Each structure stands twice: as C-alpha cells, then as structure tokens.
Structure 1
Amino acid sequence: MTKLQTEASRQSGLIQSLSSWLRQSMQVFIYGVGAWLTLKGEATAGCMIASSIIMGKALAPVQMGISSWKSMIEARGAWSRLDALLSDLDKRETMELPPPQGNLQAEHVSFAVGLVPILRDIHFSLNAGESMGLIGPSGAGKSTLCRLLLGLWRPQHGTVRLDGADIYTWDPQALGPWLGYLSQDVELFSGTVAENIARLGNVDSEKVITAARRAGVHEMILNFPLGYDTPVGEGGAVLSGGQRQRIGLARALYGDPRLVILDEPNANLDEEGEAALVRAFAALKSDGVTVIVVSHKPTLLSGMDKILMLKGGQIALFGPRDAVFAKLMEAQNTQRPEGRVAP
C-alpha cells in the first residue's frame, strides 16, 4: 500500500512539473516569435503581448485539469460507492415486519475498509430494555460498530439482528422511526428547531415537545427568540456546539424508538447538559428502550447494565458493569509500580 502511494505521488509530481514546464516554455516561445516578428515589422508589441495572454488562457484549463485530476478521481470513486450503496438499498428485503421490541444481537461481526480490518469477531447480545456502555481507545472501532448495529453498513462477516431479523434487510423507511441515533458530529439541517427534532418529517407538536422534554431541552428551546420555530441555519450555524448536541439528542428520542445509540453524547455538554443526559438515560430505561452509549465518563456509564470494551477492533472485555469495572481497576493496580501509593 505504501509503495503504491509513493509511486502515485511520484507520477503526480512528474506530471505537474511537466505541465508547468510546458506552459512556461510556450510563453517563452510566444514572446520570442513575437519579438522576432516585431523586429521584422510584421507585428507590433501589442500583438505579441495579446498572443501571450491568449496562449495562457488556452493552457489554463489544461493545467487546472491536471492539478485537480486527483479530486476528480476521488469524486468518481465516491460516486461509484454511493451508487453501489443505493443500488444495494433497492435490493433490500421489503416485507413488513412487526415493530421491534429492542432485542439486539451481534453474531461474530467483522468489518473492513478495503484491506484494512476495523472490527473482528464482535459478538454480544442485549435484551430489550438493557443498556450498554461502549468504551475503548480512539480508533478502536466504536463509531463503526454503532453504524453496523443501526444497519447503516453491512458487515463483511457475521450478522446484526434486531428481534431475530437481520437489521440490514429491514425496510429503512419502516425501521427508521424505531431507531434513535446521535453521532459524534451532530449535523442539523436548515430549518426550524421543531423540524429538526421531527427529522424533517411532518411536525407533530406533541411528539416534538415530548422528545424535547425527554432530552431536557424544552426550557432551553423556549428561551430561543422564536421558541420551537427558531431557524437553526445551515448545519445549525446559529447554535452553539452544546445546543446542537442537545437538539440532536431530542431528535434521537423523537417518537417511540426501541433502540437508541448515542456516540459521545456529552462531547460538548456542560454540567447542566450532562445532568439532563443522565435523566434521559433513566427515562429510556424505565420505558424499556435498549440503549447503547459511547463514552468514557463514569458518571454517564454508572447506570449502564453492561459494558463492552473494544481494543484494536476486538472485544477486550464484556459483561455486567460492575464486573468489567472491577477488572479494569484490577488491571490498573497491577500496572502501578510497586511501592507507589495511588493518589
């Protein structure tokens, strides 16, 4: 892989150097011919300068095309992948299934990007209403696993099942209302607060307010200039990072989701926002919603039923919360140098 990248960079640099040399050589040639014709009285200095400008304009698109060739290749590759994904969506099983209860199983799931493995042999199960904290170092595959559990991506090996059915074969339109997802990078759409919480569908005022209350943002939204009708701007530009995240949480809780996955939901939250998040977890648990939370803060994970720790794309630890935390504490104490007292 490194050898191919080095060869591609070398070829790209060579082509750009040749194009630059060709353009400068042509300019010198034009000036030379123009000067020779001017001395012979067959052209003027203005004609020489005009010819140089015309030649530069003619060669500019060629050089621009060469310099942007890499971007065009990447755009073509992205279009091919997107076309394949959308074509695959059209082939999904469309038979209507009953509303899910939230029983989730990952059966020896593996996923790779190209030749690079991201997840290997991930297997666990959660009963409806159980909660799980997902922890691990950066790059361990936590966000990738979240997308697989939601059926957004298909694993190369293994199956993710929701109530016994392969979640990837569910009709996305039918499954969507039963899922809630908050990604690391919260993306809001140009529209009002209510429209974003309602997932850009028909705004049901009662459901929107219920979701906002469950997320603990009802009072915050009422303080906006137009309340729920406040435009958020493209990408939520008029809101702070914490406000976007809390509205994104309300969007994830909109309706009656049976599986909610939150990826670093406290990344931009203050103490008030974290307290509201903990209350939201308790409400989801009482409603029998299956919850998965990616976080490293003990305050958020203290109410989880189970903990799954990823390391290097594999399961390092999985089990009841107290048992996993006890093993982590034991490992930390073992690694601590002898004679050193823990702070």
Structure 2
Amino acid sequence: MLLEPDHHPQVFFAAVLSSMRRAFLAIGLTSGFINILALTGSFFMLQVYDRVVPGRSLPTLTGLALIAASLYVFQGVLELLRSMLLVRVGISVDERLSRNVIGSLMYLPARTQIPGDGLQSVRDMDQVRSFLSGVGPTALFDLPWMPFYLALCFLFHFWIGVTALCGSLVLISLAILAEFLTRRPAQQTTRFASSRTAFAEATRRNWEVVLAMGFVNRVADRWADVNRSFLRSQMRTSDIVGGLSTASRILRMMLQSTMIGVGAILVIKEEASGGIMIASSILVSRALAPVELAIGQWKGFVAARQSWARLKHLMDMLPAEGWSVRLPAPRSSLSVENVSIVAPGTREIVVRNAALHMSAGTVLGIIGPSASGKSSLVRAIAGVWPTMAGCIRFDHATLAQWQPEELGKHIGYLPQDIALFDGTIAENIARFDKAAPSEAVIAAAKAAGVFNMIVELQDGFDAQIGEGGSRLSAGQRQRVALARALYGEPFLVILDEPNSNLDAEGDAALTQALLGIRARGGIAVVVAHRPSALAAVDKVLLMRNGLVQAFGPKDDVLRQVLRMDAAETPSVRLVTDGETGK
C-alpha cells in the first residue's frame, strides 16, 4: 500500500506542504531580514551624500562603512542560510513523494497506457525538487516586499514613488505576459522530451537488432526528427522567456536612469537632496529585482507547476484503500468467475466470460493461438491486470480483500518478458527481501533446478547479474526468474511461456518444479505452446479469440485440439519440439 488509508491525494499533498510549514516560515522570516538589510546600500549612499560630503567628516564615513560592511556580511549569511533551507525543502518533498512515484511505475501500467517511456513521473519529481532547491522560490518570497520598497520611494518624494510604481506595473505586466506565452510551449516541450527519451531507450534496448539488420542510419534519421521537434519546442520557450527577461532588464536599467533624472529635477527645484536622488535609484532597483528574477525563472516555474499538477493527478490513480482484516494464506482453491478483461488504457475486451475452478494440488496448462487472451488471463489471475467484470477468488475471497504485499507472498509469477534487477542472484530470487533466510533462497533455487548452475559461478549466489540480468544468458535469466517465482513456496505459481529459452535440462527442471508444486498442495498455471511444458499438467484450458473453448483433463482437451486441427483450425495446434529446432 502506498498511500495511507486517510491520505486522499489532495490530503496527501496538503500534508506534504503542511510538513514544510516550519521550513517555509523560517525562509519567510529570513527573507524579511534579507529585504530589510537590502536597504543598507540605499541608506549608506543617502548618509554619505547628505552628511559626510557636506560635513567633510572622515570619522563619520569610517563608521558608516564599518556598519554597512557588517550588515552586508550578515545579509550574505542569511542568503546562504535561505539557499540551504530551500535545498533541504526540495529534498524533503522528494523523499515524501518518492515511494508513491516509484509505486506508480508498478501500479499504473495495469490501469492505463503510460505515454513515452513511462518515466515522466520521475522527471516531474526531479523538476519540482530542482525548482525548490534553486533561486526561483527566492523571487516568490521577495515579491511581497515590493510594496514596502515602493512605500519608501513615496516617503522620499511623491514623484519618485509614482515613477517607481509605474515601472513596477510595467514589469509585473511582463511577468503576466510570460505566464500566458510560455504555458503551451512548455507543455509541448514536456511531451517532446518524453517521446525523445522513450525513443532513445528503445534504441538502447534494440541495438543488436538494429546493428545486425543494418538500419542504423534509418534509426538515426528517425532520432533526428524526434530530437529536432524537441529542440525547436525548447527553443521557442527559451526565446519567449529570454526575450521577456531581456526586456525586463532593459526596462529596469531605464527606470534607474529615469529615477536619477526625476531626482535631479527635484534637486534642482530644491525639493530633494542629492542623497535621496542616488538612494532612490538603488532602492527602486532592489524593489524590481524580484520581478526581474521571476521573469528569468518563469520557464522553470511553469515546468515545476505542471510537474506538480501531474504528480497530483498521478496520486489520484494510485490505490489508497485500507485493509482492516488480514486474511489467512490461501490453501484450498482458485476460482475464476465469469471474468472479462480489458487491456489497460483501451476499451478492447481481450478476455470474455472466462470461468474455471481449481483445487489445491492442480497444475493447469493454458494453450491457444497467439493473441487468444492467454497472457491477459494469467495477468488478471496474478492480480496484475484488473477485471472489467467477474472476479477471481482465493479460498472464496476476492483478490481485492488482500493487501497487495500480503497477496504477493502467495503468488509466484514468471512473465514472458523476463525482468531481473541489477543486484545479486540471491537478491533477485528473494525478491529483495533483506530478511530472507538463506535456506529459503537455496530451496527456491533447488526447486527451479538452478542451484548447481548458480554455485558453479565464481561468486555463486552473490554474483552480480547487471542491469536486467545482462551478465546472464537468456536461459539463465529465465531459470533465475523461475526460482524467484518459487521463492517462499507460494500457493499459486503462474508461468507464462516458461520454457521459451530453456534447453532439455531446463525443460526437465521445469517439469520437476511443477511436480513439486503439485506435491506440496499448491496450484500452478502454465501458458504453453510446446508440449514439453505440459508434461506435468493435470488439466488444460484452451483459449481462442478471448474465449474459453475447452477446460478439463489434459487428455480430453488435447484430443479436442486434434479434432479441431483435423477440421482445419491449425491456429490452435501446439508446436512440436522438432519444429522449434530443439
């Protein structure tokens, strides 16, 4: 379970922000002192021009310089502390969100189609942390002090205040314009970036195929098109922000000069002193600095805001249910009751009204042509895909009544696409359980017939297998994944094409594993095209076009398959070992 029972996504995000309340309060107070200390330059110039120069007093200048230097040092220390606090806020938010974000990579593919490479949520979390840890938020904390600076300008003189107010309104208008002009380009840049990363990842995974079949240049051309779209979108966003940032900087410099000009007129009219003329120019520069900084950081602000919105939407899709009763481990039966399944993110029904019942000690083989719904059915039985209609029960209780972590202990699953993690063989077999007893890991390896293969490696169970098991052969990866499925002697073991990469020795080990499951009173479900995978099964389920065509004892169903072959339905025919080249 990722979210606590009382943590609705909105409540969860409110709790995340609430936990940062003290940090934000500290940053706000620090920003207040920083903005007050920022007056040091203005008042230093005011005192120098109005007191030191007319009085020709070097001791006064020395005292003022020492005071100003001390205040500047204190301001620098506070700015450093504020920066450090912002970094820690970003890290804290990342830590609070990280479990839910990584959980989304596992939960959401079963519920919807994930665009791009599926890692947008990770990038969103990085974007939020990066923005919070940067200089962008300082502008947000400094902006509320803008009226304070403008008020001081009015205290200096009415027309100085009016000039500063007009300049502020112009810069604020630029900030609002930045919001409207960058929203759509920023969204397009995010989409193109996701597509670009997904294509690069696909290229990395399929480099052998591309290299062997000689379409490297065509893939490179395709990458150039995808990359060009991303770069153009990014360039448009950068151009808009860069143009507005340049305009704001020019306007601020013009406003400073205008302020000196207005001050000069007031000095000539003897309505203000020279010190006020210089001090007001420095003061208005400080007043407008947060607006200029906000415009310069607007691209990052928009990206972080969009990322935050996507993360909130992500939490809406994650399960947040609570389980008050912990059910006992299943022991007697598996029932599939009129189950219909829709592929995640689509409306296409891939399995329709499937029904079967198995008691403990049964091994079921599922056969049928490609795209007949075999893998979809076992994904639903494993709890990976949700059911559109009907239900699946362990010992009369639906799967939803178990906590996912508890249910996983009673299920072993070997999918078609073998997925191992970078780590040791022992860690992969034990499903990364840090408290896994060595006896259980060894028992799973022996049950999968892979113990001897493992101990013959130089580091044995502690051998590092690399990303995705890259240091193992395809057959070795499949047998290690089989051991992982058998770890802990789960009640239900689901094997989808478990012998696709196995040799004769691996086939024999698979048969012994299935017999072991039957002997200990478990249930095994095997999806197979080759007869060798059916050697240990008791019952066979035949599927075609998403429908269960037959279910019963192995011999009865296989005779029905032969009759269907004779009636010109070769798509149901099992592939023999001779035809696969084994």
Q: Same fold (TM over 0.5)?
A: yes
State the AA in 1 paired with 2:485.
A
Query: Which residue does 1:227 correspond to in 2?
Result: 460
Asked whether the 8 Å contact 2:511–2:535 carries over to 1, the reply is no
SS of equivalent to 1:256: coil
* 384, 387, 406: which one aligns with 1:174: 406
Query: Which residue does 1:280 correspond to in 2?
Result: 513
Structure 1 pair 95–237 and aligned structure 2 pair: CA distance change class (3 A): same
Structure 1 pair 230–64 and aligned structure 2 pair: CA distance change class (3 A): farther
Query: Which residue does 2:482 correspond to in 1?
Result: 249
**Gapped runs of 5+ residues in structure 2?**
1-187, 189-230, 239-306, 570-582
Query: Which residue does 2:439 correspond to in 1?
Result: 206
Per-residue deviation, residues 188-220 of structure 1 (Å, max 9, x unmatched): 111110011000002311100011000000000
Asked whether the 8 Å contact 2:381–2:392 carries over to 1, the reply is yes
User: Cα distance, 1:145 vs. partner?
Assistant: 1.0
Q: Distance in 1 between matches of 2:398 and 2:508?
A: 35
Instruction: Say whether 1:61 aligns with 2:234.
Output: yes
Q: Distance in 1 between matches of 2:348 and 2:234?
A: 37
Asked whether the 8 Å contact 1:92–1:170 carries over to 2, the reply is no
Structure 1 pair 63–267 and aligned structure 2 pair: CA distance change class (3 A): farther
Query: Which residue does 2:534 correspond to in 1?
Result: 301
State the AA in 2 paired with 1:112.
V
Structure 1 pair 201–192 and aligned structure 2 pair: CA distance change class (3 A): same
Out of 279-288 and 240-249, give the one that drifted further. 279-288
Query: Which residue does 1:125 correspond to in 2?
Result: 357
SS of equivalent to 1:335: coil
Asked whether the 8 Å contact 1:92–1:169 carries over to 2, the reply is no
Per-residue deviation, residues 84-143 of structure 1 (Å, max 9, x unmatched): 542x2x215442011111511011001113221111101111011111101111111111
**Gapped runs of 5+ residues in structure 1?**
1-14, 16-57, 66-74, 337-343
Structure 1 pair 80–134 and aligned structure 2 pair: CA distance change class (3 A): farther
Asked whether the 8 Å contact 1:102–1:290 carries over to 2, the reply is no
Q: Distance in 2 between matches of 1:175 and 1:60?
A: 46
Structure 1 pair 221–274 and aligned structure 2 pair: CA distance change class (3 A): same
User: Cα distance, 1:302 vs. partner?
Assistant: 2.9
Structure 1 pair 217–79 and aligned structure 2 pair: CA distance change class (3 A): farther
* 143, 163, 172: which one aligns with 2:395: 163
Asked whether the 8 Å contact 1:94–1:169 carries over to 2, the reply is no
Query: Which residue does 1:112 correspond to in 2?
Result: 342
- 1:260-275 to structure 2, matched below 5 A, reads 260-275=493-508
Per-residue deviation, residues 30-71 of structure 1 (Å, max 9, x unmatched): xxxxxxxxxxxxxxxxxxxxxxxxxxxx96614699xxxxxx
Q: Distance in 2 between matches of 1:59 and 1:262?
A: 47
Q: Identity over the aligned pairs, expressed in percent? A: 41
User: Cα distance, 1:169 vs. partner?
Assistant: 2.6
Asked whether the 8 Å contact 1:188–1:196 carries over to 2, the reply is yes
Scaled by the length of structure 1, the TM-score of the pair is: 0.73
Structure 1 pair 236–118 and aligned structure 2 pair: CA distance change class (3 A): same
User: Cα distance, 1:153 vs. partner?
Assistant: 2.3
Q: Distance in 1 between matches of 2:391 and 2:544?
A: 20
Asked whether the 8 Å contact 1:94–1:170 carries over to 2, the reply is no
Instruction: Say whether 1:96 aligns with 2:96.
Output: no
State the AA in 2 paired with 1:110.
S
Count of aligned positions: 270
Higher relative contact order, structure no. (Cα contacts within 8 Å, ≥ 6 residues apart): 1
Q: Distance in 1 between matches of 2:237 and 2:515?
A: 57
Instruction: Say whether 1:195 aligns with 2:427.
Output: yes
Structure 1 segments, 4+ long, off by >6 Å, are: 78-81
State the AA in 1 paired with 2:355.
H
Structure 1 pair 79–292 and aligned structure 2 pair: CA distance change class (3 A): farther
Q: CA RMSD in A?
A: 2.6
Query: Which residue does 1:69 correspond to in 2?
Result: none
SS of equivalent to 1:190: coil
User: Cα distance, 1:79 vs. partner?
Assistant: 7.1
SS of equivalent to 2:327: coil
State the AA in 1 paired with 2:519.
S
Q: Distance in 1 between matches of 2:452 and 2:408?
A: 27
State the AA in 2 paired with 1:192.
T
Q: Distance in 1 between matches of 2:566 and 2:547?
A: 23
Structure 1 pair 85–128 and aligned structure 2 pair: CA distance change class (3 A): farther
Structure 1 pair 303–200 and aligned structure 2 pair: CA distance change class (3 A): same
Query: Which residue does 1:154 correspond to in 2?
Result: 386
SS of equivalent to 2:427: helix
Q: Distance in 2 between matches of 1:64 and 1:220?
A: 55
Structure 1 pair 151–60 and aligned structure 2 pair: CA distance change class (3 A): closer
User: Cα distance, 1:241 vs. partner?
Assistant: 0.7
User: Cα distance, 1:83 vs. partner?
Assistant: 3.9
Per-residue deviation, residues 142-188 of structure 1 (Å, max 9, x unmatched): 11111111122221110000110001331111121111110111111
Q: Distance in 1 between matches of 2:543 and 2:313?
A: 28
SS of equivalent to 2:371: coil
Asked whether the 8 Å contact 1:95–1:171 carries over to 2, the reply is no
Instruction: Say whether 1:218 aligns with 2:391.
Output: no
Q: Distance in 1 between matches of 2:370 and 2:236?
A: 40
Structure with more of its chain in strand, by fraction: 1
Out of 141-150 and 210-219, give the one that drifted further. 141-150
SS of equivalent to 2:521: coil
Q: Distance in 1 between matches of 2:501 and 2:566?
A: 31
Structure 1 pair 178–60 and aligned structure 2 pair: CA distance change class (3 A): closer
